[in-house]
Amino acid sequence: MEPYQRRSNHFEALFANPKLIWMGQNTNHLPSHPDVKRAMIAAIEDEVYHSYAPPAGLAELRRLILDDFEVSDADALITDGAIEGLYHACRHFIRPGDRMITTDPTWTWPGAFAKLSGAEVVALPIYEADQNYKLTADQLAAAVADGGARLIYIVDPLNPLGICYTAEEIEAFAAIARSAEAYLIHDCTYRHFAYGHTLAYRYYPERTITTYSLSKWLGAAGLRIGALMARPSLLQTLSNGQPNSLGSNVVSQLGAIAGLKAKDEWFPEVLRISRHNQGLIHAAVQQIDELTMPIFPSHGNFVAIDCSRAGISPEALCDGFLRRDIQIRHAGYHTDRYADRFIKVSTTVPTQHTQQFCDVLPAVVTEALASQPATEKHY
Ligand SMILES: Cc1ncc(COP(=O)(O)O)c(C=O)c1O
């Protein structure tokens, strides 16, 4: 069996398990607003899917996304999830021999896409307490000074750690990007969960591309709908060779429109639950000598739990939870350098599920201490 088949089979088994508690992919499993379901059911009843959507996406959705960003001088290009926009931008702007600068840990797929276009990916180490688990402007400036930086990829809030950059830090990153005439991809997938968030676009509109995801705050991961936000002139460049030039899923777009209209009414409760769940996990971790939570509170809908003090294998912890029908993620999904350090647990699940996680945590840690390494490969 090829590795891609093994990986897909792993997720096939998870998908087929109705009891599974999804706490590994920062997806949102809280009940949808009824308007979102109604809009998509009506779209299917009306068979709107016989036509392609407009290539840049439905105008109403694009406008609602810009309103959500509180930006009026940019445009939004609808993509098949933020990931497809990232794929396109990374492939498009990189030329062989260019460098893409990101953090370690980061969300690694954009680096893989940039490599396909011939980039060298430079991942700057940030899982360090003395720099608050954040990229510093000095680190970025030094990497840019080495030359060849064509693309800077910043995930903010950062999956997997939950740190978020201040306005001063974002301004400094933007100035460094401008000094190198580099494109700055500001991956804002988790922006809605942050305690305050600053768009790099405000400081460097010429070459900043901002991602927008509906998978996390709206809980629409399976609908594959997202966007890139940038100046129209930059989106014009990207529209050449756009993979979804026949438009994105129309049913998903109509659901997203309904979701954005209901956001003010619906999302505050999602955020409250997610933050409450974080608190429960934090309290449970504090009871266990072998574990720590280096970043709390997290600015994402997830928390990282450090298990390196006792040398517990993150994958062994994944094993233990999966045996109890709870999926979590190990650091190796995000980083080779820090693969033995932490696990990541999502918090946009019903509180009862978080409680289940907390209840079994001590037993899973005890088992992992006795049974490492992991018996199964986790993705
Ligand atoms: C940092 C980051 N960017 C992008 C994505 C993908 O977003 P989407 O589901 O909108 O494609 C994820 C998904 O986990 C992510 O963590």
Whole-number Cα distances in Å, 63 to 7, 74, 159, 227, 264: 37, 10, 27, 11, 16
Do 174 and 294 have their domain in common? no
Residue 377 lies in a domain: no
Q: Which two tokens stand for residue 41?
A: 């059911």
pLDDT of residue 332: 94
pLDDT of residue 371: 79
Which of the 8 DSSP states describes residue 379? -
Ligand 1 atom closest to the CA of 226, numbered from 1: 10
For ligand 1, is residue 106 a contact (CB within 6 Å)? Answer: no
Do 183 and 283 have their domain in common? no
Q: Whole domain around residue 195: which residue ranges?
A: 34-261
pLDDT digits (tens, 9 = 90+) for 116-143: 999 999 999 999 999 999 999 999 999 9
Residue 55 lies in a domain: yes
For ligand 1, is residue 187 a contact (CB within 6 Å)? Answer: yes
For ligand 1, is residue 82 a contact (CB within 6 Å)? Answer: yes
Do 115 and 251 have their domain in common? yes
For ligand 1, is residue 227 a contact (CB within 6 Å)? Answer: no
- What's the CA angle centered on 338, arms 333 and 341, to 5 degrees? 95
Ligand 1 centroid from CA 82, angstroms: 6
pLDDT of residue 40: 98
Do 183 and 290 have their domain in common? no
Q: Which two tokens stand for residue 112?
A: 């893989």
pLDDT of residue 377: 81
Map tokens 């688990």 to a residue: 133
Domain boundary (241, 261, 281) is at 261
Q: Where are the beta strands (DSSP E) in the chain?
A: 21-22, 75-79, 99-104, 120-125, 149-155, 183-187, 208-213, 226-230, 302-306, 326-327, 329-330, 342-346
Ranges in the chain, pLDDT < 50: none
Do 254 and 276 have their domain in common? no
Residue 21 lies in a domain: yes
For ligand 1, is residue 189 a contact (CB within 6 Å)? Answer: yes
Do 132 and 204 have their domain in common? yes
Residue 278 lies in a domain: yes
Q: Closest Cα partner for 99 from 83, 117, 84, 125?
A: 117
Ligand 1 atom closest to the CA of 214, numbered from 1: 10
Residue 379 lies in a domain: no
**305 - beta bridge partners?**
343
Q: Which of 84, 102, 106, 216 to mutate to test ligand 1, by most ligand atoms within 8 A of the CB atom?
A: 216
Q: CATH code at 243?
A: 3.40.640.10
Residue 329: Cβ within 10 Å count = 24
Do 318 and 239 have their domain in common? no
Residue 352: Cβ within 10 Å count = 8
Do 143 and 226 have their domain in common? yes
Domain boundary (229, 261, 293) is at 261
Do 47 and 162 have their domain in common? yes
Whole-number Cα distances in Å, 325 to 15, 69, 356: 11, 37, 10
pLDDT of residue 140: 98
The total number of structural domains in the chain stands at 2
Ligand 1 centroid from CA 106, angstroms: 11
Do 65 and 115 have their domain in common? yes
For ligand 1, is residue 81 a contact (CB within 6 Å)? Answer: yes
Residue 349 lies in a domain: yes
Ligand 1 atom closest to the CA of 80, numbered from 1: 11
Do 25 and 115 have their domain in common? no
- Answer for the pair 280, 90: CB distance below 8 angstroms, yes or no: no
Ligand 1 atom closest to the CA of 225, numbered from 1: 10
pLDDT of residue 376: 75
Residue 277 lies in a domain: yes
Residue 116 lies in a domain: yes
